[in-house]
């Protein structure tokens, strides 16, 4: 066989390889990450990787005193609204739900770095809602002691140190309706 035949065969094999190798990716057994890369070595953890696909199911498994109003997820930030629809709700119930939400996000998930939590008063008669409390908690700043203090706060006003650490803002409606001096 002559030399040009071998050069032609090499070019055909090269072109076929360039076309077929990317299609062999389908045969890969491990799932791809969102960025299109796959880890070679990874640590196995029991923690949940939170995302749009499992957000509602994951939060639905938590036992809250208050109903969930809305929830969203964006780049490591969990935003959650809880609704106060009953006048019999006590501050201790609200604080316990706040603690449950923060505990879920920072202890049970791998990728939640911040929680934006709002407690909303919902008036079903006129279809409006008003802000009662808001918190902006970050994984890097939350300690088990803070969570325990929030959970066990009871029906008394939160101490300023806890409000500061969790960036809790209270509206005048919250103070007038739920925190009796």
Backbone angles phi and psi of 171, in degrees to 5: -85, 165
Closest CA to 71 of 54, 92, 87: 54
Q: Is 39 domain-assigned?
A: no
- 3-class SS at 123? strand
Q: Is 43 domain-assigned?
A: no
Domain that holds residue 66: 55-177
Q: Is 61 domain-assigned?
A: yes
Backbone angles phi and psi of 173, in degrees to 5: -60, -45
Report how many domains make up the chain: 1
What's the predicted TM-score (pTM) here?
Answer: 0.71
Return the higher-pLDDT residue of 41 and 173: 173
pLDDT given for residue 41 in this prediction: 39
Q: In what order do the strands lie in the sheet with 68-74?
A: 68-74, 77-84, 114-123, 128-138, 169-170
Q: Is 4 domain-assigned?
A: no
Q: What is the pLDDT of residues 36-89, one digit of tens each?
A: 544 433 454 678 888 888 888 888 888 899 999 999 999 999 999 999 988 788
Q: Is 12 domain-assigned?
A: no
Q: Is 171 domain-assigned?
A: yes
Average pLDDT, the chain: 83
Q: Is 137 domain-assigned?
A: yes
């Amino acid at each position: 066989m002559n030399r040009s035949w071998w050069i032609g065969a090499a070019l055909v094999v090269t072109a076929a390889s360039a076309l077929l190798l990317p299609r062999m990716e389908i045969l890969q057994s491990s799932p791809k990450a969102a960025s299109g890369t796959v880890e070679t070595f990874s640590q196995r953890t029991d923690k949940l990787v939170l995302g749009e696909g499992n957000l509602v199911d994951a939060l639905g498994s938590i036992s809250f005193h208050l109903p969930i109003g809305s929830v969203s997820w964006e780049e490591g930030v969990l935003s959650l609204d809880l609704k106060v629809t009953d006048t019999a709700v006590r501050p201790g119930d609200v604080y316990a739900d706040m603690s449950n939400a923060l505990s879920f996000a920072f202890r049970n998930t791998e990728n939640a770095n911040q929680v934006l939590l709002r407690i909303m008063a919902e008036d079903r008669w006129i279809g409006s809602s008003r802000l009662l409390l808001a918190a902006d908690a970050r994984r890097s700043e939350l300690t088990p002691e803070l969570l325990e203090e929030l959970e066990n706060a009871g029906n008394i006003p939160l101490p300023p140190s806890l409000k500061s650490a969790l960036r809790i803002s209270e509206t005048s409606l919250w103070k007038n309706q739920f925190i009796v001096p």
